[in-house]
Amino acid sequence: MTRPDAEPRSKRALQLTLGLAISAAVVWYTFRKTDWAASWQFMVAADRGWMFLAVVLATLSFPLRVPRWRWLLHDEDGRPVGWLPAWHAISMGFTANNVLPLRAGEVVRMGAVSRLGRVPFAAALSSVAVERVMDALVAMGLLSLALTRGGIDPSLTLPGKSKPIAEIATTIGALGLAALLVAALAAWRRTTTLGIARKLLPNNSVGDALYHFGERLLLGLSALSDPRTALPVVGWSLVIWLCNAAAFYAAFRAFGFPVPYSGALIVQGILMISIAAPQAPGYFGVFELAIGGTLAALYQIPLDAGLACGLMFHVTTFIPITMMGAWSAVTTGFRRSAIPDEAA
Protein backbone atom coordinates (compact mmCIF):
# COMPACT_ATOMS: atom_id res chain seq x y z
CA MET A 1 0.00 0.00 0.00
CA THR A 2 1.31 3.46 -0.96
CA ARG A 3 1.99 5.79 1.95
CA PRO A 4 -0.06 9.03 1.91
CA ASP A 5 3.05 11.18 1.70
CA ALA A 6 4.74 9.11 -1.01
CA GLU A 7 3.44 11.23 -3.88
CA PRO A 8 4.45 14.60 -2.38
CA ARG A 9 7.89 13.22 -1.57
CA SER A 10 8.34 11.83 -5.07
CA LYS A 11 7.21 15.18 -6.49
CA ARG A 12 9.75 17.04 -4.33
CA ALA A 13 12.45 14.59 -5.40
CA LEU A 14 11.57 15.20 -9.05
CA GLN A 15 11.66 18.98 -8.51
CA LEU A 16 15.05 18.68 -6.77
CA THR A 17 16.46 16.53 -9.58
CA LEU A 18 15.12 18.96 -12.19
CA GLY A 19 16.50 21.94 -10.30
CA LEU A 20 19.95 20.39 -9.96
CA ALA A 21 19.96 19.43 -13.64
CA ILE A 22 18.96 22.94 -14.73
CA SER A 23 21.55 24.54 -12.47
CA ALA A 24 24.33 22.18 -13.62
CA ALA A 25 23.48 22.84 -17.27
CA VAL A 26 23.40 26.60 -16.76
CA VAL A 27 26.66 26.62 -14.77
CA TRP A 28 28.34 24.67 -17.57
CA TYR A 29 26.88 26.90 -20.27
CA THR A 30 27.67 30.11 -18.40
CA PHE A 31 31.31 29.38 -17.65
CA ARG A 32 32.26 27.00 -20.48
CA LYS A 33 34.18 29.67 -22.43
CA THR A 34 35.00 32.03 -19.59
CA ASP A 35 38.49 33.48 -19.60
CA TRP A 36 39.08 33.16 -15.87
CA ALA A 37 42.34 35.12 -15.98
CA ALA A 38 40.56 38.07 -17.60
CA SER A 39 37.59 37.78 -15.24
CA TRP A 40 39.93 37.77 -12.26
CA GLN A 41 41.62 40.93 -13.53
CA PHE A 42 38.20 42.62 -13.81
CA MET A 43 37.44 41.69 -10.19
CA VAL A 44 40.84 42.82 -8.91
CA ALA A 45 40.43 46.16 -10.68
CA ALA A 46 36.92 46.78 -9.28
CA ASP A 47 36.57 49.86 -7.08
CA ARG A 48 36.42 48.62 -3.47
CA GLY A 49 34.41 51.58 -2.21
CA TRP A 50 31.60 51.13 -4.74
CA MET A 51 31.65 47.36 -4.21
CA PHE A 52 31.38 47.79 -0.45
CA LEU A 53 28.40 50.09 -0.99
CA ALA A 54 26.82 47.44 -3.23
CA VAL A 55 27.12 44.83 -0.48
CA VAL A 56 25.71 47.22 2.14
CA LEU A 57 22.70 48.12 -0.03
CA ALA A 58 22.02 44.50 -1.01
CA THR A 59 22.16 43.45 2.66
CA LEU A 60 19.98 46.39 3.70
CA SER A 61 17.16 45.11 1.46
CA PHE A 62 16.60 42.23 3.90
CA PRO A 63 15.88 44.21 7.11
CA LEU A 64 13.74 46.56 5.01
CA ARG A 65 11.38 43.61 4.61
CA VAL A 66 10.62 43.61 8.35
CA PRO A 67 8.35 46.70 8.50
CA ARG A 68 6.48 45.54 5.40
CA TRP A 69 5.87 42.09 6.88
CA ARG A 70 4.59 43.61 10.14
CA TRP A 71 1.81 45.33 8.17
CA LEU A 72 0.70 41.93 6.85
CA LEU A 73 1.23 39.61 9.81
CA HIS A 74 -0.20 39.73 13.34
CA ASP A 75 0.29 37.50 16.35
CA GLU A 76 -2.37 35.62 18.30
CA ASP A 77 -3.32 38.81 20.16
CA GLY A 78 -3.91 40.74 16.95
CA ARG A 79 -0.78 42.87 17.27
CA PRO A 80 1.82 43.21 14.49
CA VAL A 81 4.43 40.47 14.78
CA GLY A 82 7.44 41.60 16.84
CA TRP A 83 10.45 43.17 15.16
CA LEU A 84 12.94 40.56 16.39
CA PRO A 85 10.87 37.44 15.52
CA ALA A 86 10.20 38.91 12.06
CA TRP A 87 13.88 39.68 11.49
CA HIS A 88 15.10 36.28 12.73
CA ALA A 89 12.56 34.52 10.49
CA ILE A 90 13.55 36.59 7.44
CA SER A 91 17.29 36.14 7.94
CA MET A 92 16.95 32.39 8.50
CA GLY A 93 14.61 32.06 5.54
CA PHE A 94 16.92 33.76 3.06
CA THR A 95 19.90 31.88 4.46
CA ALA A 96 18.03 28.63 3.87
CA ASN A 97 17.32 29.70 0.30
CA ASN A 98 21.08 30.12 -0.13
CA VAL A 99 21.99 26.66 1.15
CA LEU A 100 18.88 24.51 0.57
CA PRO A 101 17.16 23.59 -2.72
CA LEU A 102 13.63 24.36 -3.95
CA ARG A 103 13.26 27.67 -2.07
CA ALA A 104 12.99 25.78 1.20
CA GLY A 105 13.76 29.05 2.92
CA GLU A 106 10.13 30.14 2.55
CA VAL A 107 9.03 27.17 4.63
CA VAL A 108 11.77 27.85 7.16
CA ARG A 109 10.70 31.49 7.39
CA MET A 110 7.05 30.63 7.99
CA GLY A 111 7.92 27.98 10.55
CA ALA A 112 10.33 30.32 12.36
CA VAL A 113 7.92 33.25 12.66
CA SER A 114 5.14 30.87 13.70
CA ARG A 115 7.22 29.61 16.63
CA LEU A 116 9.16 32.75 17.56
CA GLY A 117 6.35 35.26 17.06
CA ARG A 118 3.36 33.22 18.28
CA VAL A 119 1.77 33.49 14.83
CA PRO A 120 -0.60 30.87 13.37
CA PHE A 121 1.16 29.05 10.56
CA ALA A 122 -1.79 29.66 8.22
CA ALA A 123 -1.47 33.41 8.80
CA ALA A 124 2.28 33.27 8.08
CA LEU A 125 1.58 31.34 4.88
CA SER A 126 -0.99 33.89 3.75
CA SER A 127 1.32 36.85 4.46
CA VAL A 128 4.20 35.31 2.53
CA ALA A 129 1.87 34.65 -0.41
CA VAL A 130 0.90 38.34 -0.46
CA GLU A 131 4.59 39.30 -0.24
CA ARG A 132 5.40 37.13 -3.23
CA VAL A 133 2.65 38.74 -5.28
CA MET A 134 3.79 42.24 -4.28
CA ASP A 135 7.46 41.48 -5.01
CA ALA A 136 6.59 40.13 -8.46
CA LEU A 137 4.30 43.04 -9.32
CA VAL A 138 6.65 45.77 -8.07
CA ALA A 139 9.80 44.27 -9.58
CA MET A 140 8.06 43.65 -12.91
CA GLY A 141 6.52 47.12 -12.80
CA LEU A 142 9.94 48.70 -12.28
CA LEU A 143 11.34 46.49 -15.06
CA SER A 144 8.57 47.59 -17.43
CA LEU A 145 9.09 51.24 -16.54
CA ALA A 146 12.86 50.96 -16.93
CA LEU A 147 12.50 49.30 -20.34
CA THR A 148 10.73 52.41 -21.60
CA ARG A 149 13.60 54.62 -20.37
CA GLY A 150 16.50 52.16 -20.22
CA GLY A 151 19.29 54.26 -21.72
CA ILE A 152 19.83 51.57 -24.38
CA ASP A 153 21.85 52.55 -27.45
CA PRO A 154 19.18 53.49 -30.06
CA SER A 155 21.34 52.12 -32.88
CA LEU A 156 21.69 48.68 -31.31
CA THR A 157 19.71 45.90 -33.06
CA LEU A 158 19.27 42.17 -32.61
CA PRO A 159 21.25 39.95 -35.00
CA GLY A 160 19.42 39.73 -38.31
CA LYS A 161 16.82 42.31 -37.26
CA SER A 162 16.42 45.93 -38.30
CA LYS A 163 14.26 47.08 -35.41
CA PRO A 164 16.32 48.76 -32.65
CA ILE A 165 16.47 46.97 -29.28
CA ALA A 166 15.55 50.25 -27.56
CA GLU A 167 12.29 50.37 -29.53
CA ILE A 168 11.51 46.73 -28.74
CA ALA A 169 12.25 47.35 -25.05
CA THR A 170 9.94 50.38 -25.00
CA THR A 171 7.12 48.32 -26.52
CA ILE A 172 7.64 45.49 -24.02
CA GLY A 173 7.78 47.95 -21.13
CA ALA A 174 4.55 49.65 -22.21
CA LEU A 175 2.80 46.29 -22.55
CA GLY A 176 4.08 45.29 -19.10
CA LEU A 177 2.71 48.44 -17.51
CA ALA A 178 -0.63 47.87 -19.26
CA ALA A 179 -0.69 44.28 -17.95
CA LEU A 180 -0.11 45.53 -14.39
CA LEU A 181 -3.01 47.96 -14.77
CA VAL A 182 -5.25 45.14 -16.00
CA ALA A 183 -4.15 42.98 -13.03
CA ALA A 184 -5.04 45.78 -10.60
CA LEU A 185 -8.48 46.18 -12.17
CA ALA A 186 -9.01 42.42 -12.14
CA ALA A 187 -8.15 42.26 -8.43
CA TRP A 188 -10.54 45.14 -7.71
CA ARG A 189 -13.38 43.19 -9.40
CA ARG A 190 -12.21 39.74 -8.39
CA THR A 191 -15.58 37.94 -8.45
CA THR A 192 -16.45 39.31 -11.90
CA THR A 193 -12.98 38.50 -13.24
CA LEU A 194 -13.12 34.91 -12.02
CA GLY A 195 -16.61 34.48 -13.48
CA ILE A 196 -15.41 35.65 -16.89
CA ALA A 197 -12.31 33.45 -16.64
CA ARG A 198 -14.42 30.39 -15.83
CA LYS A 199 -16.49 30.94 -18.95
CA LEU A 200 -13.53 31.59 -21.24
CA LEU A 201 -11.13 28.90 -20.06
CA PRO A 202 -11.50 25.34 -21.41
CA ASN A 203 -13.27 22.86 -19.17
CA ASN A 204 -10.28 20.56 -18.69
CA SER A 205 -7.27 20.09 -16.43
CA VAL A 206 -5.32 22.90 -18.13
CA GLY A 207 -8.25 25.30 -17.79
CA ASP A 208 -8.73 24.32 -14.14
CA ALA A 209 -5.03 24.85 -13.39
CA LEU A 210 -5.06 28.29 -15.00
CA TYR A 211 -8.26 29.22 -13.16
CA HIS A 212 -6.91 28.20 -9.74
CA PHE A 213 -3.60 29.99 -10.39
CA GLY A 214 -5.48 33.17 -11.23
CA GLU A 215 -7.73 32.70 -8.22
CA ARG A 216 -4.74 32.48 -5.85
CA LEU A 217 -3.10 35.49 -7.48
CA LEU A 218 -6.22 37.63 -7.20
CA LEU A 219 -6.81 36.45 -3.64
CA GLY A 220 -3.33 37.66 -2.71
CA LEU A 221 -4.00 41.03 -4.31
CA SER A 222 -7.42 41.33 -2.67
CA ALA A 223 -5.72 41.12 0.73
CA LEU A 224 -4.57 44.66 -0.01
CA SER A 225 -8.08 46.00 -0.52
CA ASP A 226 -7.77 48.18 2.60
CA PRO A 227 -5.82 51.34 1.65
CA ARG A 228 -4.50 51.61 5.23
CA THR A 229 -2.61 48.35 4.60
CA ALA A 230 -2.09 48.60 0.86
CA LEU A 231 -0.29 51.94 0.81
CA PRO A 232 2.42 51.04 3.38
CA VAL A 233 2.92 47.58 1.83
CA VAL A 234 3.27 48.99 -1.68
CA GLY A 235 5.49 51.79 -0.36
CA TRP A 236 7.84 49.44 1.47
CA SER A 237 7.90 47.11 -1.56
CA LEU A 238 9.10 50.01 -3.69
CA VAL A 239 11.77 50.90 -1.12
CA ILE A 240 12.99 47.28 -1.01
CA TRP A 241 13.34 46.87 -4.76
CA LEU A 242 14.72 50.35 -5.40
CA CYS A 243 17.34 49.70 -2.73
CA ASN A 244 18.17 46.31 -4.27
CA ALA A 245 18.52 47.90 -7.71
CA ALA A 246 20.78 50.56 -6.19
CA ALA A 247 23.07 47.71 -5.05
CA PHE A 248 23.37 46.52 -8.66
CA TYR A 249 24.01 50.09 -9.82
CA ALA A 250 26.83 50.46 -7.25
CA ALA A 251 28.35 47.19 -8.48
CA PHE A 252 28.24 48.44 -12.07
CA ARG A 253 29.99 51.64 -10.96
CA ALA A 254 32.60 49.51 -9.18
CA PHE A 255 33.40 47.80 -12.49
CA GLY A 256 33.23 51.04 -14.47
CA PHE A 257 30.24 49.97 -16.56
CA PRO A 258 28.37 52.88 -18.24
CA VAL A 259 24.99 51.50 -17.18
CA PRO A 260 22.33 53.90 -15.83
CA TYR A 261 20.18 53.21 -12.78
CA SER A 262 17.34 52.21 -15.11
CA GLY A 263 19.68 49.50 -16.41
CA ALA A 264 20.04 48.19 -12.85
CA LEU A 265 16.24 47.94 -12.66
CA ILE A 266 16.25 45.97 -15.92
CA VAL A 267 18.96 43.59 -14.71
CA GLN A 268 17.09 43.11 -11.42
CA GLY A 269 13.83 42.24 -13.17
CA ILE A 270 15.43 39.83 -15.63
CA LEU A 271 17.32 38.18 -12.77
CA MET A 272 14.09 37.72 -10.82
CA ILE A 273 12.49 35.99 -13.82
CA SER A 274 15.60 33.85 -14.37
CA ILE A 275 15.71 32.40 -10.84
CA ALA A 276 11.99 31.61 -10.74
CA ALA A 277 12.50 28.08 -12.14
CA PRO A 278 13.49 25.15 -9.85
CA GLN A 279 17.20 25.36 -9.09
CA ALA A 280 20.00 24.25 -6.84
CA PRO A 281 20.83 26.31 -3.73
CA GLY A 282 22.17 29.81 -4.27
CA TYR A 283 21.16 30.11 -7.96
CA PHE A 284 24.82 29.93 -9.02
CA GLY A 285 25.29 30.03 -12.77
CA VAL A 286 21.81 31.35 -13.46
CA PHE A 287 22.54 34.45 -11.40
CA GLU A 288 25.76 35.27 -13.22
CA LEU A 289 24.37 34.48 -16.68
CA ALA A 290 21.33 36.72 -16.16
CA ILE A 291 23.56 39.66 -15.22
CA GLY A 292 26.34 39.09 -17.75
CA GLY A 293 23.97 38.25 -20.59
CA THR A 294 21.73 41.27 -19.99
CA LEU A 295 24.68 43.66 -19.78
CA ALA A 296 26.18 42.21 -22.97
CA ALA A 297 22.92 42.31 -24.93
CA LEU A 298 21.66 45.74 -23.90
CA TYR A 299 24.77 47.73 -22.98
CA GLN A 300 27.51 45.97 -24.98
CA ILE A 301 29.53 45.12 -21.87
CA PRO A 302 32.05 42.31 -22.62
CA LEU A 303 30.61 39.02 -21.40
CA ASP A 304 33.70 38.13 -19.35
CA ALA A 305 33.42 41.49 -17.55
CA GLY A 306 29.69 41.06 -16.97
CA LEU A 307 30.12 37.53 -15.62
CA ALA A 308 32.94 38.73 -13.35
CA CYS A 309 30.70 41.47 -11.99
CA GLY A 310 27.82 39.03 -11.47
CA LEU A 311 30.04 36.48 -9.72
CA MET A 312 31.69 39.04 -7.44
CA PHE A 313 28.34 40.62 -6.57
CA HIS A 314 26.80 37.20 -5.93
CA VAL A 315 29.55 35.93 -3.65
CA THR A 316 30.04 39.14 -1.66
CA THR A 317 26.31 39.67 -1.05
CA PHE A 318 25.78 35.94 -0.34
CA ILE A 319 28.03 36.01 2.72
CA PRO A 320 26.44 38.66 5.03
CA ILE A 321 22.84 37.40 4.96
CA THR A 322 24.01 33.78 5.27
CA MET A 323 26.07 34.64 8.35
CA MET A 324 23.22 36.67 9.88
CA GLY A 325 20.76 33.84 9.28
CA ALA A 326 23.11 31.31 10.85
CA TRP A 327 23.51 33.65 13.85
CA SER A 328 19.72 33.95 14.16
CA ALA A 329 19.35 30.17 14.08
CA VAL A 330 21.97 29.75 16.83
CA THR A 331 20.71 32.54 19.09
CA THR A 332 17.05 31.53 18.84
CA GLY A 333 17.70 27.79 19.06
CA PHE A 334 15.57 27.29 15.96
CA ARG A 335 15.75 23.91 14.26
CA ARG A 336 14.15 22.53 11.09
CA SER A 337 12.15 20.12 13.27
CA ALA A 338 10.35 23.10 14.81
CA ILE A 339 8.46 23.74 11.57
CA PRO A 340 4.77 22.83 11.97
CA ASP A 341 3.29 19.84 10.17
CA GLU A 342 1.18 22.18 8.00
CA ALA A 343 4.32 23.03 6.04
CA ALA A 344 4.71 19.53 4.70
pLDDT per residue as tens digits for the range 40-75: 889 999 999 999 999 999 999 999 999 999 998 887
Domain boundaries, the chain: 33-343
Q: Do the Cβ atoms of 169 and 161 come closer than 8 Å?
A: no
For residue 312, pLDDT over 80 is answered with yes
Grade residue 153 by pLDDT with cuts at 50, 70 and 90: confident
Q: Do the Cβ atoms of 51 and 248 come closer than 8 Å?
A: no
Per-residue pLDDT, averaged over 238-263, amounts to 96
Provide the 10 A C-beta neighbour count for residue 121: 17
For residue 142, pLDDT over 60 is answered with yes
* pTM over cut 0.85: no
Q: Which of 161-165, 228-232, 311-315 has the lowest mean pLDDT?
A: 161-165
pLDDT per residue as tens digits for the range 157-203: 666 666 777 777 778 778 777 877 777 777 677 788 888 888 888 88
pLDDT of residue 336: 53
pLDDT per residue as tens digits for the range 92-124: 999 988 887 767 788 899 999 998 988 888 888
φ, ψ (nearest 5 deg) of residue 157: -130, 160
Per-residue pLDDT, averaged over 325-329, amounts to 93
For residue 214, pLDDT over 60 is answered with yes
Rg, C-alpha atoms of the chain: 21
CA distances from 134 to 94, 147, 162, 194, 341 (A): 17, 20, 36, 20, 27
Q: Which of 132-141, 256-265, 291-300, 334-343 has the lowest mean pLDDT?
A: 334-343
For residue 266, pLDDT over 70 is answered with yes
pLDDT of residue 13: 63
DSSP assignment of 96-155: HHHHSSTTHHHHHHHHHHHHHTT--HHHHHHHHHHHHHHHHHHHHHHHHHHHHT----TT
pLDDT of residue 15: 60
pLDDT of residue 17: 67
Best CA proximity match to 220, nearest among 160, 153, 133, 120 = 133
pLDDT of residue 4: 47
The whole-chain average pLDDT of the chain stands at 82
pLDDT of residue 276: 75
Per-residue pLDDT, averaged over 298-310, amounts to 91
